[in-house]
């Protein structure tokens, strides 16, 4: 059986794995059962080495070639999101308020397909590391992973990953050298004043109006910054004011905001402007304020050579390659890898009419599974199979 027929024959097992993963999603940092499920599935592939508990609940499956050569990492993500799924098919999430709304169930399955292919035929040289990364959605996983001595001992030469992309034609491959996805940072603002009787609000210091001014001012910051075509974005994601007690004027407020820019260099200016604005509004209203930061993502910056390899592999698999005009506005912690190791992330289109990522009706389309697996395999062969390399 040739390799592609081999993959086709294995698709029902992959679809079953994908649905099992979809049904049992886990939040960032708590991917215990997902990791167990993946470990159990990979037992049939007999990898040469398995490193578990890497960077948290991460797992690396290593498939070695006959001769020495480069190490290629193919990375996917273990985690799901705190979103209540609203689909009603049989394999919908069984865990309340948690779902695979980013398609990481599909990404994991594509990489499991690679496990099957590599079990049947090892690369000619070097080694392939199939890396299941925890905690992508909070931006913590990749950083913890690359700092893990177990990861560093792998000495990777190349790193690749994909993300499914709604809004692009089904099965198209989206490649972009340079910035692929934006940098972002979560800002938590706490305002403390003084409660008072609702009948005499003048006896207290309510953060209600300053909170609104901060929300409005921060939302308008991108237009004030005049970014010269460089994307700058501020999104209010949460706020809270006082308590639901009609006799009390509030003394406390909290606002959470995501700051986002197209380059790593423009984040500090946005951070400074945001901090100054909060300080102005809080101090002029006699409030104490506290600012903290979380969910810090750098840009994912793709290396040119890695993009060229993706394009070649895509074209020889007969797939359409589309350029990406602007980087994805979303953030991706894969940037922690590409800032250290040559590599790239590419997109796989899932259709123009699909539910968007992180929405309650999203579901990963299984037609993408063989496309992703074949493309990764093409990339691996280009880097680790001398016969293909010498042909070019």
Interface residues toward Zn ion, by CB under 5 A:
102
DSSP 236-284: EEEEEES-S-TTEE--EEEEEEEEEESSGGGHHHHHHHHHHHHHHHHHH
**Shortest spacing between CB 228 and Zn ion, in angstroms:** 28
**Shortest spacing between CB 110 and Zn ion, in angstroms:** 13
**Shortest spacing between CB 34 and Zn ion, in angstroms:** 14
| Measured distance CA(125)–CA(65) in Å, rounded | 4
- Tokens representing 369 are 């599974």
* Length of the chain, in residues: 392
Reported as type and span, the H/E element at residue 338 is: helix 335-338
Instruction: Measure the CA angle with vertex 370, ends 364 and 374; round to 5°.
Output: 130
Nearer to Zn ion, 24 or 99 (CB): 99
Nearer to Zn ion, 42 or 364 (CB): 364
| Closest alpha carbon to 373 in 127, 112, 191 | 112
Nearer to Zn ion, 80 or 277 (CB): 80
**Shortest spacing between CB 143 and Zn ion, in angstroms:** 16
CA 86 to chain CA mean position, Å:
22
**Shortest spacing between CB 102 and Zn ion, in angstroms:** 3
Nearer to Zn ion, 102 or 277 (CB): 102
| Closest alpha carbon to 63 in 384, 346, 378 | 384
Nearer to Zn ion, 140 or 385 (CB): 140
- Tokens representing 118 are 């590599």
| Residues 241/212, Cβ–Cβ less than 8 Å | no
Cβ contacts of 5 within 8 Å, gap of 6 or more: none
Pairing of strands 248-249, 196-197: antiparallel
**Shortest spacing between CB 185 and Zn ion, in angstroms:** 16
Nearer to Zn ion, 7 or 101 (CB): 101
Nearer to Zn ion, 161 or 191 (CB): 161
**Shortest spacing between CB 366 and Zn ion, in angstroms:** 17
| Residues 130/50, Cβ–Cβ less than 8 Å | no
Nearest position to Zn ion, beta carbon: 102
Nearer to Zn ion, 146 or 211 (CB): 146
| Measured distance CA(185)–CA(205) in Å, rounded | 30
**Shortest spacing between CB 104 and Zn ion, in angstroms:** 6
């Amino acid at each position: 059986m040739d390799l592609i027929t081999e993959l086709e024959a294995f698709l029902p097992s992959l679809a079953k794995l994908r649905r099992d993963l979809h049904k049992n999603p886990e939040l960032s940092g708590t991917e215990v059962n997902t990791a167990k499920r993946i470990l159990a599935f990979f037992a049939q592939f007999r990898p040469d080495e398995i490193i578990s508990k890497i960077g948290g609940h991460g797992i690396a499956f290593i498939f070695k070639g006959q001769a020495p050569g480069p190490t290629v990492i193919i990375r996917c993500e273990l985690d799901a999101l705190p979103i209540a799924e609203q689909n009603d098919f049989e394999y919908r999430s069984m865990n309340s308020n948690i779902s695979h709304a980013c398609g990481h169930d599909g990404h994991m399955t594509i990489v499991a397909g690679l496990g099957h292919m590599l079990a049947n035929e090892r690369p000619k040289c070097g080694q392939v590391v199939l890396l299941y990364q925890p905690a992508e959605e909070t931006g913590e996983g990749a950083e913890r992973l690359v700092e893990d001595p177990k990861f560093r001992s792998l000495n990777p030469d190349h790193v690749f990953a994909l993300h499914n992309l709604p809004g692009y034609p089904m099965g198209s491959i989206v490649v972009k050298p340079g910035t692929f996805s934006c940098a972002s940072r979560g800002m938590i603002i706490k305002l403390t004043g003084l409660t008072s009787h609702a009948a005499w609000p003048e006896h207290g210091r309510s953060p209600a109006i300053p909170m609104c001014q901060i929300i409005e001012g921060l939302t308008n910051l991108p237009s004030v910054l005049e970014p010269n075509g460089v994307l700058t974005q501020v999104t209010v994601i949460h706020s809270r004011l006082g308590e639901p007690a009609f006799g009390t004027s509030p003394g406390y407020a909290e606002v959470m905001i995501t700051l986002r820019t197209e380059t790593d260099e423009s984040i500090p200016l946005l951070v400074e402007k945001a901090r100054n604005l909060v300080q102005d509004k809080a101090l002029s209203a006699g409030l104490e304020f506290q600012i903290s930061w979380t969910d810090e993502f750098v840009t994912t910056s793709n290396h040119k050579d890695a993009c060229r390899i993706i394009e070649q592999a895509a074209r020889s698999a007969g797939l359409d390659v589309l350029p990406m005009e602007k980087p994805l506005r979303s953030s991706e912690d894969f940037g922690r890898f590409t800032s250290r190791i040559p590599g790239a992330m590419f997109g796989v289109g899932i259709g123009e009419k699909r539910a968007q990522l992180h929405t309650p009706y999203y579901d990963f389309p299984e037609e993408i599974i063989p496309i992703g697996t074949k493309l990764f395999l093409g990339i691996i062969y280009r880097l680790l199979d001398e016969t293909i390399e010498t042909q070019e």
